[in-house]
């Protein structure tokens, strides 16, 4: 199809888009002169894709904190999804990397982050994961010790 003329490509596109989409397309006032398949697609994208308020998207991103029992992997996935609409460009990785420093609930992990001069997102994730595992193990040890103390008191 990409080898055909613009008029054939546009006619084919209009014939496969469906009645409702065609009705919308005809009312978009994109002009019939110099109409190409690319300009038709752009007009439909402009109509159907929601307009984003980048300032608001960044506010939501910067307000995102890790939930108390949320694993770091899930938190970073949420951050990546939020960052996709923030238009950070080349700073996206650094912005995501910095959020666990700000949004992490564990103060000892936060202190470890602040001691580092320069670190990547991967290093931040490794630090958080090791902290999560350590905290889980400490809770398990504490629970076992409490059970042992209760048994000794009986």
- For residue 127, how many other CB atoms are within 10 A of its CB? 18
Q: What is the mean pLDDT of residues 125-150?
A: 87
Query: Tens of pLDDT along 36-70?
Result: 888 888 888 888 887 889 999 999 999 998 888 88
- Kindly report the pTM of this predicted structure: 0.61
- Pairwise CA distance, residues 154 & 149, whole Å: 9
Query: Tens of pLDDT along 10-33?
Result: 888 888 988 898 888 888 877 656
Query: Tens of pLDDT along 68-117?
Result: 888 889 999 999 999 999 999 999 999 998 888 887 777 888 888 888 88
Cβ atoms of 82 and 61 within 8 Å: the answer is yes
């Amino acid at each position: 199809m990409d080898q055909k003329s613009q008029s054939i490509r546009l006619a084919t596109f209009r014939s496969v888009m469906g009645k409702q989409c065609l009705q919308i397309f005809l009312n978009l006032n994109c002009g019939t002169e110099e109409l190409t398949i690319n300009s038709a697609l752009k007009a439909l994208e402009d109509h159907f894709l929601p307009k984003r308020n980048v300032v608001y998207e960044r506010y939501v991103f910067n307000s995102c904190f890790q939930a108390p029992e949320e694993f770091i992997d899930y938190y970073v996935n949420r951050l990546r999804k939020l960052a996709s609409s923030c238009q950070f460009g080349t700073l996206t990785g650094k912005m995501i990397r910095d959020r666990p420093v700000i949004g992490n609930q564990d103060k000892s992990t936060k202190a470890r982050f602040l001691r580092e001069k320069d670190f990547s997102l991967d290093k931040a994730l490794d630090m958080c994961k090791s902290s999560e595992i350590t905290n889980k193990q400490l809770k398990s040890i504490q629970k076992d010790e409490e059970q042992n103390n209760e048994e000794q008191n009986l």
